[in-house]
Structure 1
Amino acid sequence: MDIHRRSSCRLLAGVLVAGSLAAGGAHAAGKGGAQPAPAAPAAAQVAPVFDMSPLPVTTGLMTQYILSPAGQLSGMLLADGTQVFFSHDLGEQLPAIARPGEQVSVNGLKGIGHPIVRAYAVTGPRGRRIADVRPPATAPMPVDSPSIGPDVPVDGTILAPLYDMQGGVQGVIMRDHSVVYVGEKNASRLVAWLKPGATLHAIGTGVTGDHGTAINAREIGPDVNQAIHVEPADAPPPGAFPGSAGYDVIPGGSSGD
């Protein structure tokens, strides 16, 4: 009986010692071991640089997005014919707050003599607001346009001239909401063909999708039989063609220049 009692006591003592060591190890790990990383704080929302409230407010029904030939949202058309242009950042955010057929409110500078607005803030129909967070650019960004890509044809009736941020005509908006870019030089040369109500055929590289159609015209005319070739608005400057003797010559780069 004494033998069994001593064995039980030894077993109980061993269990207590093991438990004590385990508890001590856990406590040490809690003090000096690796701690779980704290949750990262939510990214702070960037506030606009300027107060947009003093800017004139333009309110209207958006009828369509205005796309660049590369598919970027560069503006929107209101039901009264006003063309609203904005930065690339605002263009990326616009579909999240407003869609064609919805009312929008725009804080921006109104054009003099042209139905255009340079927007710095846009409020959608559900109260969501987007605004530029950078200072206004001193010069407009060039239209991002693909030099190569699939040809997209446009046929229909012209709704309105397409302006740029400086009030120059750079193409047309069609009644089917397609946008045709030709560049200011071509637009001034082809003014007789680019009048509202006129029929137009154009083909060029561009995009067509859920947000609309936009092309950089390479051929244009009242119809397919009268179409002429035009230099695309994004064509590179003239120079020596690839493989020619002067192709690799940089003007001003040689001692003889």
Structure 2
Amino acid sequence: MQANLKYPCRGVAALALNVMSLAAFTLASIGCAAQTQPEPPSGIAAVAPPPPSAIAPAPLADAGAALIAQVVVARFLTNPDGDVDGFLTSDGMLVHFPPHMGPQLTAMVRPGDHVQVSGWRGPGGNLAAQRIADTRSGQQLVDQPPAGPPPLPPELRAAALSRLSVQGQVAHVTTAPRGEPDGVILADGTVIKLTPPIAQQFPALLQTGANVSAQGYGTRNQYGTALQATAFGSPGNLTQLYDRQPPAP
């Protein structure tokens, strides 16, 4: 099953294109930069939604169509910056939302909880969420522009990333907004991000069930592992994706 990551993580595309120069510059000038956690945006309020029974879940419609679905949260997903920006449902659908909603959502629901999601279906059958409501507690989150200070610039976020190596079986192929493949999600929830032009070089590996391996820069926390790949391939047969590799943090 393909899944569309509609909200690309902030700064990760820049890291993929400039990882060599950013890592060398920031590690020399900044050192051990502390990664602070932003305060929850004040623009997203937890309020009581309509009773779940008042809104009947709609079946999945054509791509781009609005829908409402009752789902069970199976596993949270992160982006390479470490932000929670999606979750997998118990029936294998990917629900995606902006990273600024992650702290509130992980405080509101846990894996195994039933939630009602309102949003739009993407090309791969996944759901871009506009509202997520906990059907048990009645709390909900609505996607609104984030409040508070602007995000850190890419070079500061790059300084907080770690060198990671992962491998496993592909459970989902992710796609960019226009539908082109841009990475995979492994069976254990690990997210491997690629740029679409590079992803097109590995058609045999960007398939459900394929065994893949990757190295790159990202984060590993209590919600999962995600990295932007600088090397990708089958286990024991990695292809370097860039001419020069940055120094390890």
TM-score range, shorter chain: 0.5 to 0.7
Structure 1 residue 131, shift from structure 2 partner: 0.6
Structure 1 CA distance, aligned partners of 2:138 and 2:208? 34
Structure 1 residue 45, shift from structure 2 partner: 7.6
Partner of 1:173: 185
Partner of 2:124: 114
Structure 1 residue 75, shift from structure 2 partner: 1.4
Partner of 1:61: 72
Structure 1 CA distance, aligned partners of 2:176 and 2:111? 20
Structure 1 residue 211, shift from structure 2 partner: 0.6
Identity %: 25
Listed one character per residue, the Cα deviations across residues 184-229 of structure 1 (whole Å, up to 9, x for unaligned) are 11212212112111111111111111010001111111112x1101
Structure 2 CA distance, aligned partners of 1:71 and 1:214? 7
Structure 2 CA distance, aligned partners of 1:46 and 1:230? 39
Structure 1 residue 46, shift from structure 2 partner: 6.4
Structure 2 CA distance, aligned partners of 1:73 and 1:60? 18
Residues 217, 229 of structure 2: 8 Å contact kept = yes
Query: Taking structure 1 as reference, are residues 77 and 216 closer, same or farther at Cα in structure 2, changes over 3 Å only?
Result: same
Partner of 1:101: 112
Q: Does 1:123 align with 2:133?
A: yes
Among 97, 113, 117, the alignment partner of 1:86 is: 97
Residues 118, 165 of structure 1: 8 Å contact kept = no
Matched residue SS, 1:59: strand
Q: TM-score with structure 1 length normalisation?
A: 0.61
Structure 1 residue 167, shift from structure 2 partner: 3.6
Which structure has more helix as a fraction of its residues?
A: 1
Matched residue SS, 1:227: strand
Residues 157, 200 of structure 1: 8 Å contact kept = yes
Residues 205, 217 of structure 1: 8 Å contact kept = yes
Structure 2 CA distance, aligned partners of 1:166 and 1:61? 27
Structure 2 CA distance, aligned partners of 1:167 and 1:211? 26
Among 196, 199, 223, the alignment partner of 1:184 is: 196
Q: TM-score with structure 2 length normalisation?
A: 0.63
Structure 1 CA distance, aligned partners of 2:200 and 2:43? 44
Structure 1 residue 47, shift from structure 2 partner: 6.6
Partner of 2:25: none
Structure 1 CA distance, aligned partners of 2:76 and 2:94? 10
Structure 2 CA distance, aligned partners of 1:106 and 1:88? 16
Q: Does 1:153 align with 2:165?
A: yes
Give the alignment of 1:9-28 within 5 angstroms.
none
Give the alignment of 1:228-247 within 5 angstroms.
228-231=239-242
Residues 121, 132 of structure 1: 8 Å contact kept = yes
Residues 44, 142 of structure 2: 8 Å contact kept = no
Q: Does 1:216 align with 2:218?
A: no
Matched residue SS, 1:109: strand
Query: Taking structure 1 as reference, are residues 175 and 181 closer, same or farther at Cα in structure 2, changes over 3 Å only?
Result: same
Which structure has more strand as a fraction of its residues?
A: 2
Structure 2 CA distance, aligned partners of 1:46 and 1:81? 27
Matched residue SS, 1:192: coil
Structure 2 CA distance, aligned partners of 1:134 and 1:90? 10
RMSD between superposed Cα atoms in Å: 3.2
Listed one character per residue, the Cα deviations across residues 35-86 of structure 1 (whole Å, up to 9, x for unaligned) are xxxxxxxxx98679xx998952122122211211010112111122221111
Among 202, 210, 232, the alignment partner of 2:214 is: 202
Structure 1 residue 165, shift from structure 2 partner: 4.4
Structure 1 residue 122, shift from structure 2 partner: 0.3
Structure 2 CA distance, aligned partners of 1:167 and 1:222? 24
Query: Taking structure 1 as reference, are residues 74 and 206 closer, same or farther at Cα in structure 2, changes over 3 Å only?
Result: same
Residues 184, 192 of structure 2: 8 Å contact kept = yes
Partner of 2:82: 71
Alignment length, in residue pairs? 179
Structure 1 residue 147, shift from structure 2 partner: 4.0
Residues 81, 115 of structure 1: 8 Å contact kept = no
